[in-house]
Amino acid sequence: MRNALTIAGREIRSYFSSPVAYVLLAVFLALGGYFFYALLTAFNQTLAMYAMMRQPEMLQRFNLNQMVIAPLLHNMSVLLIFIVPAITMRMFPDEKRYGTYELLLTSPVRVGEIVFGKFLGGLTLVALMVLLSGLFGALLCAYGNPEVPLMLSGYLGLLLMALVFLAAGTLISSFTDNVVVAYVGTLFALLVLYTIGWLGETLQGTAGGLVRYISVTEHFSEMTKGIIDTKDLVYFATLLVIGLFLTHRSVESVRWR
């Protein structure tokens, strides 16, 4: 564990001593802010419209959580599909290109510690992103009255999803020594993971159920509605463990080829 922290620390310093972390944070928050503004404006206009039509029973139906926070979280999850691969793409390819892989693998460090250290480094950056995007929720709390537990459940869903993306990116970056291949490969995997649920709408029976279960969106949607179900948590944990376990295998196999 100590070695994992050493490796994670170096990883984090490397993100922040280059423009990488700042650019990714800025892009994520700028686009997130734009989505937030657009959704909020649309919400206010809808409210104003129904107020004019004097239909108070319709007003009851609309709430901040459903019309602003949930779609905002969904939009931000799409942003993560593009941003997480940029975080993970250098993890292993750069080590291989600059020869530092030899340093890591000839040090008295276990492969699991290398993998977990890399993952922890990425996790720190991603968690910071999700945390800073909490500003949008905080603004709503300051000027409106959203249901806070529901909102927190959604943010937890976003974070869990980001961790699964991160594990997938870590795995794919361990396969290659090329940064572009790592980025595009991860992007592909995340898009498949995100959109495979679409098949579930047409497929019948077990296949349809299975596809819906694999789809990350299904589980995430539940959490944005404020439902924290064990089966969703198990889903996220399972993907996380599988991703890290396979990365461990992949790094080990490079060593014993």
Partner 1 sequence: MIEVANLSKRYGDLAAVRDVSFTAPSGKIVGFLGPNGAGKTTTMRIITGFLPATSGTVRVEGFDVFEQSTEVRRRIGYLPENPPLYNEMSVTGYLRFVARLKGLARADVESALERVLDTCGLRAMRDRLLGHLSKGFRQRVGLAQALIHDPPVLILDEPTIGLDPRQIIEIRSLIKTLGGKRTIVLSTHILPEVAQVCDKVVIINDGHVVVEDELANLTRGRTLEDVFIEAISRDIGDGGHAVAAVEAEA
Residues that bind partner 1 (CB under 8 A): 2-3, 6-7, 9-10, 13-14, 17-18, 98-110, 255-257
Structure tokens, 210: 């299975």
Instruction: CB nearer to partner 1: give 90 or 212.
Output: 90
Residue 107 CB, nearest approach to partner 1 (Å): 5
d(CA 113, CA 42): 48
Which DSSP symbol is given to 19? S
Residue type, position 225, single letter: K
The residue type found at 158 is L
Q: Which is nearer to partner 1, 61 or 110 (CB)?
A: 110
CA pair distance 43, 60, nearest whole angstrom: 13
- CA distance linking residue 171 with residue 205, whole number of Å: 31
Among residues 98 and 143, whose Cβ is nearest to partner 1? 98
DSSP string, 185-242: HHHHHHHHHHHTHHHHTT--HHHHHHHHHH-HHHHHHHHHTT---HHHHHHHHHHHHH
* Residue (100 or 195) nearer to partner 1, CB: 100
Q: How far is the CB of 128 from partner 1 (least distance, A)?
A: 19
Least separation in angstroms between residue 120's CB and partner 1 is 15
**Least distance CB 251 / partner 1 (angstroms):** 13
Residue among 143, 124, 145, 9 nearest 64 (CA): 145
Shortest separation between residue 256's beta carbon and partner 1, angstroms: 5
Cα separation of 13 and 135, whole Å? 25
Compare residues 23 and 48 and give the one whose CB is closer to partner 1.
23
Quickly tell me which residue has 């250290």 as its tokens.
117
